[in-house]
Amino acid sequence: MSILNESLASKILDLGQSDEINSETTAPQNGQSYLRGANEPPLVYATIPQLLREAVSRFGPRDAMIFAEQGIRMSYYELDRAVDELAAGLLALGLTKGDRVGIWSPNRCEWVLTQFATARIGIVLVNINPAYRLNELEYALNKVGCKALVTARAFKSSDYLDMIRQLAPELETCKPGQLRAARVPDLRSVVVMGPDADPGVYSFDQVCKLGGPAQQLRMPTIDKTLNPDDAINIQFTSGTTGAPKGATLSHYNIVNNARFSTRRINLTESDRLAIPVPLYHCFGMVLGSLGAVSTGAAMVFPGEAFDAGQTLDVLSNERCTAVYGVPTMFVAMLEDLEAKPRDLSSLRTGIMAGAPCPVDVMQRVNDEMNMKEVTICYGMTETSPVSFQSFVTDTTQKRCETVGRVHPHLEAKIVAKNGENVAVGEQGELCTRGYSVMKGYWDDADKTADSIVDGWMHTGDLAVFDAQGFCSIVGRVKDMIIRGGENIYPREIEEFLFTHPSVSEVQVFGIPDERLGEDVCAWAVAKPGTELTGEELIALCKGQIAHYKIPRHIRIVSDLPMTITGKPQKFVMRDKMIEMLQEHGGQV
């Protein structure tokens, strides 16, 4: 690890004892739905490598990360060494500051190493959803021009390497690092996790050994060029208007958001934080891995993907003190715990977020999982992600019924359709402004301008503030489905289904689902003179779009319910579909 900038580094983790809880600034003034977060603790103008460096210098011998399924344990010292090795290897691949590198994998040790190694040399990490299929992978790689892709070999039914070979058959004949592929023209290197290389593909272990003294020597110089405002991470969020958008975040965005979210749950180096949420999402890689590093806590990854039983076993065996999850994960853990009790006496806190958190689930997590200090977070990828969160000292009622109070250094307001602020207690669209707002959508100035107006990120969520500044999320303005914590924009699926030659019209919407919160439904109309079946549409989706986006129910109809002005009435379709499913025992 290179030279330590002591004066700056010592401030990064030192959040001090200042108390933001009772700050008057977090309550609305003059009856207006406008909030300003506390000024304490201070923001740090720091990069991810600086954050890691300070954790290593303060907590070096302590556990940094444990990957239960892979059987890997690393101290902060070991993490630091492994990150430097990989960073040197990435330089040897010819990658330089500002280049984009994709990562496509479930939760594995290599994911976190790549996260910190890319940041170490200013490379922009591009998170690719492990559920993505060919169509989405191709889009993501090309949209941001990834020069390299670090990938798992396979996971469950997904053979990642096979999919990459379909996309870039040129790999068969090229030398590793010298790919020239027609469908992914910017991609040069594919790196597969594990010890074994493949034709045209480096192994992860090879890359870790590629860097020599020349690369090691370059690192301190590169370090000096890193700027907290640089883009360092791109996360794809599904777009309301079709293709996914690349939310681009800086060091400054995510370092500070990680610090403030873990501070609200009083995370310290004595904590052992279980992270069953996916690393490709900001919940895993900002609140999880960066959040842990910002406090010196140990990260405990129960498995490659979420499994309730496995997570509970690891919570108990590793004596975890905190755990993160989306509501459906907690529901599954509560069910599993009923069938097979575990000793969760070490648990204290955690975060539930990502989708509306039902009050009774919060109550049960509080009582049955021994998480007396569990908090809810609200936010979105575009705002680093967290903007609201409860304090562990809030009453159980407030912790269970609201998403808490605004984070430090942020402003939040609720606006009516005409853009005017609404009064306290009234609902409208939630907007947030401050250090946490993304730099923009990658290569998409128009969509950025639509979402961020005068610095305010328009969340598309409907919210209400109370007089003390607690926020409740009451609905969505945006046409989005949240299925088991995964956001799905109907438009993206509609556009994909349109690629079927017999589809003349199609509408995708969410219907309530007991287990997943919502599930995906589609109504389609066939072109005159053609035959169309739901099975055909499902077959079209398989292997091309992520499984969670594939409609669970499809109805082929002769026409769609429309308004007089010709707008499809999704609420009519939704109500009809719910009614039909009830009548037919869940099948149509």
Applying CB under 6 A, which part among 68-76, 176-184, 272-280, 453-461 lies near ligand AMP?
453-461
Calculate Rg over the CA atoms of the chain. 24
Interhelix angle 48-59/109-120, rounded to 10 degrees, is 120
Nearer to ligand AMP, 468 or 530 (CB): 468
| 502 backbone dihedrals φ, ψ, rounded to 5° | -100, 0
Applying CB under 6 A, which part among 143-151, 316-324, 454-462, 546-554 lies near ligand AMP?
454-462
Applying CB under 6 A, which part among 37-45, 213-221, 412-420, 458-466 lies near ligand AMP?
458-466
Interhelix angle 109-120/76-92, rounded to 10 degrees, is 60
The one among 275, 279, 344, 403 contacting ligand AMP by CB under 6 A: 403
Q: Is 487 in the site for ligand AMP (CB under 6 A)?
A: yes
Nearer to ligand AMP, 165 or 405 (CB): 405
What torsion, rounded to 10 degrees, do the Cα atoms 268, 270, 274, 275 define?
40
The one among 473, 481, 497, 525 contacting ligand AMP by CB under 6 A: 473
Burial 341-378 (b: 16+ CB within 10 A, else e): ebebeebbbbbbbbbbbeeebbbbbbeebbbebbbbbb
The CA angle 315-319-320, to the nearest 5 degrees, is: 60
Instruction: Kindly identify the residues of this chain, within the stretch 32-91, that bind ligand AMP according to CB under 6 A.
Output: none
Six token digits for residue 399: 């912790």
What torsion, rounded to 10 degrees, do the Cα atoms 325, 329, 331, 333 define?
-100
The one among 20, 307, 461, 492 contacting ligand AMP by CB under 6 A: 461
CB 373 within 8 A of CB 266: yes
Name which of 169, 40, 36, 193 is nearest 103 in CA terms: 193
Minimum separation from the CB atom of position 6 to ligand AMP (A): 35
Cα separation, 136 vs 128, whole angstroms? 9
Instruction: Kindly identify the residues of this chain, within the stretch 244-273, that bind ligand AMP according to CB under 6 A.
Output: none
The one among 66, 258, 314, 380 contacting ligand AMP by CB under 6 A: 380
CB 35 within 8 A of CB 27: yes
Nearer to ligand AMP, 9 or 287 (CB): 287
Minimum separation from the CB atom of position 243 to ligand AMP (A): 16
The one among 200, 350, 354, 510 contacting ligand AMP by CB under 6 A: 354
Minimum separation from the CB atom of position 242 to ligand AMP (A): 17
Applying CB under 6 A, which part among 87-95, 349-357, 449-457, 527-535 lies near ligand AMP?
349-357
Residue type, 493: I
| 189 backbone dihedrals φ, ψ, rounded to 5° | -125, 135
Burial of 214 (0-12, 13-18, 19+ CB in 10 A): exposed
Residue with tokens 């090309």: 142
Minimum separation from the CB atom of position 480 to ligand AMP (A): 6
The one among 146, 355, 400, 573 contacting ligand AMP by CB under 6 A: 355
Minimum separation from the CB atom of position 240 to ligand AMP (A): 11
The one among 65, 74, 90, 353 contacting ligand AMP by CB under 6 A: 353
Q: Is 437 in the site for ligand AMP (CB under 6 A)?
A: no
Instruction: Kindly identify the residues of this chain, within the stretch 282-321, that bind ligand AMP according to CB under 6 A.
Output: 282
Instruction: Kindly identify the residues of this chain, within the stretch 229-248, that bind ligand AMP according to CB under 6 A.
Output: 237
Nearer to ligand AMP, 403 or 577 (CB): 403
Minimum separation from the CB atom of position 413 to ligand AMP (A): 16
Nearer to ligand AMP, 146 or 286 (CB): 286
Minimum separation from the CB atom of position 111 to ligand AMP (A): 18
Q: Is 476 in the site for ligand AMP (CB under 6 A)?
A: yes
Six token digits for residue 279: 């690393």
Cα separation, 287 vs 275, whole angstroms? 9
Minimum separation from the CB atom of position 381 to ligand AMP (A): 3
Interface size with ligand AMP, residues (CB under 6 A): 19
Separation of CA 101 from chain center: 17
Nearer to ligand AMP, 481 or 503 (CB): 481
Minimum separation from the CB atom of position 546 to ligand AMP (A): 14
CB contact set of 223 (below 8 Å; sequence gap of 6+): 2, 3, 49, 120
Cα separation, 189 vs 169, whole angstroms? 13
Sign of CA dihedral 121, 127, 128, 129: positive
Residues forming contacts to ligand AMP in the complex (CB under 6 A) are 237, 282, 353-357, 376, 378, 380-381, 385, 403, 459-461, 473, 476, 487
